[in-house]
Structure 1
Amino acid sequence: MSFEIGTDEEPQHWHDDVDAPVGSRLNWLRAAVLGANDGIVSTAGVVMGVAGATSDEGAILLAGVAALTAGAISMAAGEYVSVSTQRDSERSILKLEATELERMPETEFDELVTMYEEKGLSAETARRVAEELTEHDALRAHAEVEFGIDPDELTNPWHAAWASLVAFTVGALVPLLVLALLPASVRVPLTVVVVAVALAVTGAISAQLGFSNKPRAVLRNVTGGLLAMGVTYVIGMLFGTHIV
């Protein structure tokens, strides 16, 4: 994908039109895209597997609803736990770093100078930068350079959890509604088509929001989703005589 990039005469940054900071944007984007894709693929896989085993509409819908409910809760809980763990780690790192700055400020200052030298600054420039940043906010300077942590932008577990919950539910409703509304004669092939389109859309949206290549994202999403559906449908057909 392309973005408008200017020149020195007419400056234009590619990220000027981005509303949120890229770091936080990618955080919720990851949760939302993962949730939507998981909702579409996992629910479609479940209902296609059951559809391959039986034509009982009630059983298919029940399986779909169960997959949606369990999946949405699981995704939200998983995101909350994992992001909370990351946030706790970030807070612990900041606390330890603050203690080091209090107990051995000179050692920490020399460490900061060394890190800037390793980034390519001259010894004199590195020392001057370290002095100015230490005077402004020593903890922030060390946290960003040493650990890539912004003390004011710690990861938010609730954002990730809600993004996953909502995205998974929306994604899961796609195959579920198709199976519920379509007659049995065209249920399976049209479900495949609709799910493929939905995965293409989520792939394109994720690429648009994440500044990446659209065709590659679309191909990756659609291929993985169709593969999962095909495998579960075949398994359902193989064991269908025992389920009916």
Structure 2
Amino acid sequence: MTRLRMHRERHLVQRIGWLRAAVLGANDGIVSTASLIVGVAAAASMREDVLIAGVAGLAAGAMSMAAGEYVSVSSQSDAEKADLARERVELSEHTELEREELAQIYVERGVDLDLARQVAWQLMQKDALTAHARDELGLSEIVAARPVQAAFASAVTFASGAALPLVAAWISPHEAIVPVVSAASLACLALLGAIGARAGGAPVFRAMVRVTFWGALALALTAGVGKIFGMAV
């Protein structure tokens, strides 16, 4: 008789926590730093001013992304903990009602009432809070909020993304900073869009077009602003 081997499948949704923060951080790093460099360069600033602005944008942006992501995800985590605490009290005070509520959730999913009650009873015997967190509140280990992980991923990926246009500005001649940084940044954005789409199982071409379009728009706007203020000065 052939023995069935149990295996754990890894689904794309398991990547959603770090993938969202990583893609957002890298994308923002490229767009914001490249836009800053292009805007300053378009204002006819000195090469040193352009590079200093780029480095300052990298440092400030990385810390801002980390802080913002930490606060945002911490708020989500606090809400999840509050829901779990409330559910823990309800389970201790109204066990039978909570068991019936869980059974009704399974009935709505297509399970017969008698079987649903058996399943609810067995799951609550093992771990009542986990069963209700997963099936009533929609909380699980896969999508749980992790503030420190999200903050770290955002800071690192922002700095990594911001380093790309900064390096392009450093190696290019002063008079070619705007076109070189713009071209390099758009190419990196397209690559980032493809990688993010691939990792998340989304259409690659659509993601590339979307991220490149918004990056090009940001670069064009900041270049225009820099040019206008450069002429005014």
SS in 1 for 2:145: coil
Contact 1:140 1:151 in 2 (8 A): no
- The sequence identity of aligned pairs, in percent, is 45
List runs of 5+ in structure 1 lacking aligned partners.
Answer: 1-12
2:221 maps to 231
Which residue, 191, 194, 211 being the options, matches 2:201?
211
Q: Structure 1 153/38 Cα, relative in aligned 2: closer, same or farther at 3 Å?
A: closer
**CA deviation profile, 1:147-166 (whole Å, cap 9, x unmatched):** 11126873211110110001
- Counterpart in the other structure of 2:144: 154
Structure 1 residues 94, 22: closer, same or farther in 2, change over 3 A?
farther
Task: Say if 2:105 is the partner of 1:115.
Answer: yes
Residues 37 and 50 in structure 2, CA contact (< 8 A), matched pair in contact too:
yes
Distance in structure 2 (CA, Å) of the matches to 1:207 and 1:152: 19
Cα pair 2:70 2:151 within 8 Å, conserved: yes
1:189-204 correspondence to structure 2 within 5 Å: 189-204=179-194
1:128 is the counterpart of 2:118: yes
The separation in 2 between residues aligned to 1:153 and 1:181, in whole angstroms, is: 42
Q: 2:86 aligns with which of 88, 91, 96?
A: 96
Give the TM-score of the pair, scaled to structure 2. 0.92
Which amino acid is the alignment partner of residue 58 of structure 1?
E
Q: 2: CA distance between counterparts of 1:227 and 1:241?
A: 21
Query: Does structure 1 conserve the Cα–Cα contact (< 8 Å) formed by 2:17 and 2:143?
Result: no
Check the 8 A contact 1:24/1:155 in 2, yes or no.
no
Q: CA RMSD in A?
A: 1.9
Give the TM-score normalised by the residue count of structure 1: 0.88
Give 1:220's aligned residue: 210
Q: How does 1:1-150 map to 2 (within 5 A)?
A: 16=9, 18=10, 22-150=12-140
8 Å CA contact 1:40–1:199 kept in 2: the answer is: yes
**Unmatched 5+ residue regions in structure 2?**
1-6
- On the 8 A contact 1:55/1:184 being kept in 2, the answer is no
**Structure 2 CA distance, aligned partners of 1:22 and 1:94?**
26
C-alpha distance after superposition, 1:131-171 (max 9, x if no partner)? 11111111111111111112687321111011000100010
Which is further off, 150-159 or 101-110? 150-159
Tell me how far apart the structure 2 counterparts of residues 71 and 185 of structure 1 sit (CA, whole Å).
26
Residues 177-228 of structure 1 show CA distances to partners (whole Å, capped at 9, x for unaligned) of 1111110232211211111110011111101111111101111111110110
Distance 2:188 2:142 in 1: 36
Q: Is the 8 A contact 1:44 1:229 kept in 2?
A: yes
